[in-house]
Structure 1
Amino acid sequence: MTPRPDPDALGFVLIDAARLLRAAFERRIAGAGLGITPGEARTLVHAAALDGSRQLDIAQRMGIEPMTLSTYLDRLQSLGFIERRPDPADRRARLIFTTPAADALIRDVRVEQVELMTQVTAGITPEDRELVRESLKRMRANLRAIEEDQQALPLAKEAGR
């Protein structure tokens, strides 16, 4: 007899929680009247956190395709919230910087994020929240290492031919 799958196994719970959290964040941003889409809000937050980073690095950090990011950045740039500058180290690349006009919007997105997370973590002690956060950061690092290994494997096989 094969073991029955457990829908409450850690991996499934993480996937479900991430999906539900993302949907809740998107609803919250869409309903907040900020004048930007949830994808643009995520992009702006990541651009601010990685101020001066290349578009490709921001896309990788967000886990989205560079072309999707480019669409979000185009809109944010047209609204005056980010600017693209040439990368002095690579003339093909652009560095992304938030503008002072974005500061209030970033604060508003942050308020929505904090309020949502207050609801999501209701009943969880600050110590347990920190333990979960640190554990998830470790899992993220492990997953990134696995992904890098998976990407390196075909290159290593090809180089060995």
Structure 2
Amino acid sequence: MTDNTAIKMADEETIFGNILPAREGYPAPELGLTIAIILAGRRWRSLLDEKLRTLGHSASRMEAMSAIAYAPAHTTQIQIAKRVGIEGPTLTRTLDMLEADGLVERLPDPSDRRNKHMKLTPAGFEALGEMLAVTGALRAKLLENVPMTDVRANLGFLSMLLERIEGGLETPDD
């Protein structure tokens, strides 16, 4: 960790160096944790986009294609959007580009003409394989020398946070 991103826990006077001074009512470790989660996600995505751009792709394309590839047969576009955690119109734009590139097919739902089922083409599976290889190599470098016990503990912790968030968090103002 560099000085400007390290959480100073000993004196709890600052969080992330001098970027964010601790304030009354904001416990430094908890605030530091939420900031670290947000920054790690953003920076990972930015790095991933940079690496995938060399293949002509992006993290959002990989996420959409992965969701389609690993979804049960006859999964609709709306279900894919929910899996990825984005709004339908955002996914529609991504799918339009993927379809134009010959990587995804939209198939009509025989029981409901309003719905479309998503399917990767052979070229889509090949492109996804390339993207996953780049992502896997990047992930291996990121987690190099991190003990598997730490990886599992953090995965459990982050999974618990996601469950709580997805379950809705009530605040006193709700």
TM-score normalised per structure 2: 0.73
Q: Does 1:92 align with 2:114?
A: yes
Percent identity over paired residues: 25
Query: Which structure has the higher relative contact order (CA within 8 Å, separation 6+)?
Result: 1
Q: Does 1:72 align with 2:98?
A: no
Matches within 5 A, 1:105-120: 105-120=127-142
TM-score normalised per structure 1: 0.78
Number of aligned residues: 148
**Paired residue secondary structure (1:18):** helix
**What's the offset of the Cα at 1:14?**
0.8
Deviations along 1:46-76, whole A, 9 cap, x unmatched? Answer: 2212253211122222222211211111111
Deviations along 1:86-126, whole A, 9 cap, x unmatched? Answer: 22443211111112222221111111111111122123112
Residues 66 and 128 of structure 1, relative CA distance in 2, 3 Å threshold: same
Match of 1:19 in 2: 42
**What's the offset of the Cα at 1:43?**
1.6
* Residue 39 of structure 1, aligned match among 54, 60, 65: 60
Q: State the structure with more CA Rg.
A: 2
Structure 1 unpaired stretches of 5+: 154-161
Match of 2:13 in 1: none
Contact 2:45–2:59 (8 Å) recurs in 1: no
